[in-house]
Amino acid sequence: MTTPPRVRVRYAPSPTGDPHVGNVRQAIWSWLFARHSGGDFLIRLEDTDQTRKVPGSLERIYGSLRWLGIDWDEGPDIGGPYAPYVQSERLPRYRVAADQLLADGHAYLCFCSSERLAEMRKAQQAAGESPGYDGLCRTLSVAEATTRAAAGEAHVVRFKMRDDGTTTLVDLLRGEITVENRHFDDFVILKSDQFPTYHLAHVVDDYEMQISHVTRGDEWLPSAPRHARIWDALGYARPTFVHFPVILGPDGGKLSKRHGAKSVLEYADEGYVAGAVFNFLAILGWSFDDKTELFTRARLTEIFDLADISVNPAAFDTQKLEWMNGVYLRDMPEPELTALFAERLDRDLPTDVARPLDRALIAAFTPHIRERVKLLSEVAGLVDFFFAASVVTPGADEFLSAKRWRDDAAGAAGSLRAIADTIEALADWSTAAIEAAMRGTAEAIDEKAGDVFTLCRLAVTGKRIAPPLFETIEIVGRETTVSRLRAAASALAPTV
């Protein structure tokens, strides 16, 4: 019985900006597959297109993965048995592979200028032909090509595709795929600057790093027969190909920022928690039982199977992500949630709020807002009044917008003063005692409790929507509550 090869998969980003959600989902799926299989997950930086490098991109790639809880066994930062893991540091390897292909007759030197290639494509377009290299340099003798190259003439190396027959490859999700070779032109594998194209570089790297499963987006599916040919020409045993489906916007179009899609670190900035984003992306195109949507990272690792990935594109649903984020926040242990709120508030509250923030205060109001929060970025707007020396009292129009208080500023002010007197004299400072006293006062002054409580909420918090009123008053404290009630009353109807 043959022992199956060890699972080895790689995440191979380009340092051209922040990783988008489709790219990161590939990393999540590959990582889950490696961890489920007891295999290896490595990072390889594909930076052969030097013109597109963006400073700081690599740090943001690492930051995105670490935030999501994705670790790696080998990579540019930690090394490994197949170092280096940066393609620009592996150029001699690609030259050796290109020379082997040239020597074996699977590639040739091409001296066509960019101007000639542009004219060729223009003529093909005018004739209604499919664009592609016309093979002019394919007929050059090896001697002539070698002489011209030695003389310093600029050239590239092209792979010689067969123009007859078919190429068949196997994709794990789609099965056998057979394509006629006549659909492919001779493509560049080594550029004039001695940097490889993706076609050659990833084949050499995946072989040398013993990658068992080449996982990538299905935008590479049309090029897969080319890659299969390179694997064969170099005498390499092909890996298992797995082409992941794309993510679409909810309207069926290409996913973009207008659909709410952002980079992973932008989601972190906007108040999403890592577990929710990981869960959401992991099931975006993958299904366990068609009904379960909430999974811990440990559970996903236990049950994940590449075979359960759909070949159909998945639609990105921002509302579902927000819902899932809210569920994760509500299910979080209270001490952990308090710490998360504290960290976010330290970032979002105005600079004039004293630091360090009162952790006991945050712990006190956390249970009263956890059901209301979907994003961490919402927390400061809900609770900033707890930290303010004084609340910005809403205008009279806000207090008098309810039918009861319309054209009765004096009545509203009188109700606020009555509650302030009650609060100030209250012996038992507990939520239950505060509620009972306030309801008793409303009854004593012959007002509906709801009408009076709306006034009190505005006065104490400055908001129409806030955490539960009586719990809020208990946390705010007697002195501050009384002060805010009286200040609001004076703003409505100053005493004589």
Contact criterion met (CB below 8 Å) for 462 and 392: yes
Is 291 known to be catalytic?
A: no
Report the relative pairing of strands 40-43 and 8-11 from DSSP bridges: parallel
Judge contact between 294 and 329, C-beta under 8 A: no
- CA angle 266/270/272 to nearest 5° reads 95
> Please, are residues 283 and 296 in contact by the beta-carbon 8 Å criterion?
no
DSSP state of 228: H
State which amino acid sits at residue 271: G
Torsion region of 29: left, alpha or beta (phi above 0 gives left; psi -120 to 50 gives alpha)? alpha
Of 465, 492, 493, nearest in space to 393 by CA: 492
Chain centroid, CA 439 distance in Å: 48
DSSP 23-78: HHHHHHHHHHHHHHHT-EEEE-B----GGG--TTHHHHHHHHHHHHT---SBBTTT
Task: Return the structure tokens found at 210.
Answer: 């013993």
If you compute the radius of gyration of the chain from its CA atoms, what whole number of angstroms results?
A: 33
Of 257, 262, 374, 463, the active-site residue reads 257
- Token pair belonging to 51: 């013109």
Q: Residue 103 carries which side chain, given as an amino acid letter?
A: A
B/e letters for 55-79, b = 16+ CB within 10 Å, e = fewer, are: eebbebbbbbbebbebebebbbeee
DSSP-derived letter for residue 131 is P
> In 181-267, which ranges are E strands?
188-190, 213-217, 240-244, 247-248
DSSP label at 86? B
Which pair of tokens denotes residue 23? 């790219």
* CA 307 distance to own-chain centroid: 23
Catalytic sites, residue numbers: 257
